[in-house]
Amino acid sequence: MKYDVVIIGGGLGGLQCGYILSREGYNVCLLEKNSQLGGCLQTFRRNNSIFDTGMHYIGSMDEGQVLNNFFRYFGLSGKLNLKKMDENCYDIVKYKDKEYNFAMGHERFIETMLGYFPNEKEALYKYTSKLKEITESVDLFNLRESTYHQTGYLDFFSIGIDEFINSTTKDETLKSVLLGLSPLYAGVKEKSPLYLPMIIHSSFINSAYRFIDGGSQISEILSKNITENGGTIMRKAEVTQFIFDSGKIKAVKINNSEIIEGDTFISNIHPKTLLKIAGNAPLRPAYKSRIDSIEETTGAFTLYLSMKKDAFEYINSNYYVFKTDKVWEAQNYSREKWPMGYMMHFSPSSGNEKYTSSIIANTYMRWEDVVPWKNTTVEKRGDDYREFKRVKAEKLLSVIETDFPGITAKTESYYTSTPLTYRDYIGSPTGSFYGILKDYRDPLRSMVMPRTTIPNLLLTGQNINVHGVIGVTICSVLTCSEIIGTQYLISKMRKA
């Protein structure tokens, strides 16, 4: 059977493209290598704890806000089981042992921060004005028509966040606190563009929500909607080869056997992985070498704590804790000085509002730390890898204990993941946190467009635009606009 559109990868981006195009009457086939759809939206259950692997909170979900508008179009509105986070402190940065609350709403954010930094009114207004200016510049953030040719926001890709923060205030503590959200984009001082943290902070300052019982709700609803629209979803269908004919893709091979033909192909997988699979792709050598040479964001070590029943009270905030005075240094740890910080998320569950059964702590882990096991696969990495993870887990837990005394005793059991886990589940080359590292000094090099020089191949997902639910959603719209037209799609979304 030949499909109108074949989508490779069932992460958020692939599912959203599948939904848009199947809703528009295209005969869509989505191919996902894992048994569970969703990519980073995957959840897993241990004991009575449900753990999110890559989606801990989402922003701008209040009525009339951008994600809410998008989600209404995707048939997700009103169907997700969400919990609004604490409006006074949805995020808390702990720096030099002092906690700084990030509040929802621009005015409340300023007021709260003025409580800590009474002389920094001008700096805080400058910061929030920039948040507004940048979000206003992104057409799709405001559901305006957009093409890559009318993009005022590109200017903000060529300024560094560090440079901007330095120009905003001389107060070193305020600088560190504002940069304390850098784990949300695995920020690098010399590289991270202003655009990235601003779009992310902007989406959360509007409103922040957690998933009750896990974020895989999104992939479950989207996949159901795609099937109802007549689309086909194949799980355990790993694309292993591309078949080309006259400069175009004719078909893909799944699991080295079955052939799936299509007119148009959308890749939701990491571009480097795509190039590896499509080794003989008729793409320009310069394009291939540019993609291959783009740097990746640092990976993560994650500790999943399954808590004893009714032992640890649910906290409706995320923590960004630093064990160094230099927030940018957190990923430049030495073996002895690891971890230099962590972020903590507490999962709400439908069965128990007062206590949490799942706590997730993420800290940086570089690819080089797990290189000794790079030729292994899930569950078959050997005893030395298990011991490596145990030592890391105990070390991280002992650091967390200093901030949350008693947490170890309240923990029933724990589970861990490393960059290798992400490499093998998601298919990114080095199991990075958020895919490609954006570099403001050479923005075009680290930007990958949806269109490729293969006329029937489009790209989508976090590596093409910005990571996170907003970045990936905007990219899905950009990618599908290449097929059905921006004006048409946006007007449909506006009316949804």
Ligand X SMILES: Cc1cc2nc3c(=O)[nH]c(=O)nc-3n(C[C@H](O)[C@H](O)[C@H](O)COP(=O)(O)OP(=O)(O)OC[C@H]3O[C@@H](n4cnc5c(N)ncnc54)[C@H](O)[C@@H]3O)c2cc1C
Q: What are the structure tokens assigned to 127, written together?
A: 């910061």
Q: Examine residue 210 and tell whether it contacts ligand X (CB under 6 A).
A: no
Helix, strand, coil percent values for the chain (each to nearest 5): 40, 25, 40
Q: Work out whether 418 is an interface residue with ligand X (CB under 6 A).
A: no
Q: How far is the CB of 126 from ligand X (least distance, A)?
A: 26
Which of 17, 20, 29, 41 is close enough to bind ligand X by CB under 6 A? 41
Q: Name the one range near ligand X by CB under 6 A: 43-51, 56-64, 278-286, 331-339.
A: 56-64
Total residues in contact with ligand X, by rule CB under 6 A: 37
What DSSP line would sit under 451-473, residue for residue? B-SSTTEEE-STTTS-SHHHHHH
Which range touches ligand X (CB under 6 A), out of 28-36, 73-81, 160-168, 223-231? 28-36
Which member of 10, 75, 183, 262 binds ligand X (CB under 6 A)?
Answer: 10
468 binds ligand X (CB under 6 A): yes
**Beta carbon of residue 275, minimum distance to ligand X (angstroms, whole number):** 12
* Least Å from the CB of residue 7 to ligand X: 9
Site for ligand X contains 267 (CB under 6 A): no
| Span near ligand X by CB under 6 A; candidates 123-131, 168-176, 465-473, 477-485 | 465-473
* Interface pick for ligand X out of 5, 6, 20, 40 (rule CB under 6 A): 40
Binding to ligand X by residue 273, rule CB under 6 A? Answer: yes
Nearer to ligand X by Cβ, of 5 and 426: the residue is: 426
Could you tell me the smallest distance in angstroms from the CB atom of residue 191 to ligand X? 18
- Whichever of 5 and 124 has its CB closer to ligand X, that residue is 5
Closer by beta carbon to ligand X, 357 or else 363: 363
> Three-state SS for 87?
coil
For residue 279, how many other CB atoms are within 10 A of its CB? 9
For position 461 contacting ligand X by CB under 6 A, the verdict is yes
Among 124, 281, 300, 400, binds ligand X (CB under 6 A): 300
Short-list 98, 12, 10, CA closest to 469: 12
CB of 121 to ligand X, least distance (A): 30
For residue 176, which amino acid is it? S
Instruction: Kindly report the number of other CB atoms within 10 A of residue 82's CB atom.
Output: 16
- Spatial separation of the C-alpha atoms in residues 354 and 299, rounded to whole Å: 32
Q: Does 339 help bind ligand X (rule: CB under 6 A)?
A: no
Q: Of 31, 305, 327, 459, which one interacts with ligand X (CB under 6 A)?
A: 31
Interaction of residue 467 with ligand X, rule CB under 6 A: yes
Q: Which stretch binds ligand X (CB under 6 A): 25-33, 284-292, 394-402, 448-456?
A: 25-33
Q: Does residue 427 bind ligand X (CB under 6 A)?
A: yes
Residue 216 and residue 488 in contact, taking contact as beta carbons nearer than 8 Å: no
Cβ of residue 310: shortest distance to ligand X, in angstroms?
26
Contacting residue, 18, 54, 197, 419, with ligand X by CB under 6 A:
54
Rounded Cα gap, residues 411 and 306, in angstroms: 6
Helix H or strand E segment including 46: strand 43-46
Q: Which of 17, 199, 239, 361 contacts ligand X by CB under 6 A?
A: 239
DSSP string, 193-256: BTHHHHHHHHHHHH-EEEETT-THHHHHHHHHHHHHTT-EEESS--EEEEEEETTEEEEEEETT
> Which residue from 268, 269, 265 is spatially nearest to 244, judged by alpha carbons?
265
CB-CB contact of 50 with 41 (8 Å): no
Q: How far apart are CA 462 and CA 475, in angstroms?
A: 8
Buried b (16+ CB within 10 A) or exposed e, 432-443: bbbbbbbbbeeb
138 binds ligand X (CB under 6 A): no
Under the binding rule (CB under 6 A), the answer on residue 93 touching ligand X is no
Residue among 7, 12, 205, 483 that touches ligand X (CB under 6 A): 12
Which residues does 242 contact at the CB level (< 8 Å), separation at least 6? Answer: 249, 251, 252, 253, 277, 278, 280, 281
Q: Which of 128, 168, 268, 421 binds ligand X (CB under 6 A)?
A: 268
Q: Do 339 and 396 form a contact (C-beta atoms < 8 A)?
A: yes
Q: Are 307 and 359 in contact (CB under 8 A)?
A: yes
- Distance from C-alpha of 1 to C-alpha of 478, rounded to nearest angstrom: 27
Q: Near ligand X by CB under 6 A, which window of 185-193, 286-294, 460-468, 481-489?
A: 460-468
**Distance separating alpha carbons of residues 325 and 322, to the nearest angstrom:** 7
**Minimum distance from CB of 183 to ligand X (Å)?**
9
Report the interface residues with ligand X, using CB under 6 A: 8-14, 31-34, 39-41, 54-58, 238-239, 268-269, 273, 277, 300, 362, 426-427, 433-434, 461-462, 467-469, 472
